Amino acid sequence: MKILDVGCGGGLLTEPGGSLFITTINKTQLSYALGIVFAEQIAGIVPKGTHTWEKFVSPEKLESILESNGLSVQSVAGMLYNPFSGYWHWSENTSLNYAAHAVKSGVQDHPVPDEFVFKGETEELRGQDSTNAGAQEELKK
């Protein structure tokens, strides 16, 4: 297995030199307004109580946590969800959702699969090369 999807806000480093990909929500006023007030309370996109703002984490805090545990952050990219199309898009803006890629410290130039490389604001996140159909469906959510 090259990629293991362990769900919302969590991750495992499968072996020394393996990659860790984390997707989570930034801890900003905007993420509170859109992630909790709008998505949960107004639009009902997700059930009320799904998010706890106090548990949101900034990219800087996440990098600090990862580095203190022997990991080196290779890249951070923003992610935007379009509720009308049902697709996620890469963005330079990390104020809402973002993805981070880290490897064990000391491992440099670790190759990243093409579907996880930040390529610009309009590129969709896709799992087309994934052998896990469930992972592809999760990317559409």
Tell me the average pLDDT across 102-125. 58
Question: pLDDT digit string (tens) for 9-48?
Answer: 444 555 576 788 899 999 999 999 998 999 899 999 889 9
CA 78 to chain centre: 8
pLDDT top residue among 109 and 137: 109
Mean per-residue pLDDT of the chain:
76
Question: pLDDT digit string (tens) for 47-67?
Answer: 999 999 899 999 999 999 999
Q: Which helix (H) or strand (E) holds 136?
A: helix 133-140
Instruction: Determine contact, residues 79/99, Cβ cutoff 8 Å.
Output: yes
The 19-25 sheet, strands edge to edge: 19-25, 97-104, 71-82, 87-91
Tokens of 114: 């093409």
Whether this model's pTM surpasses 0.75: no
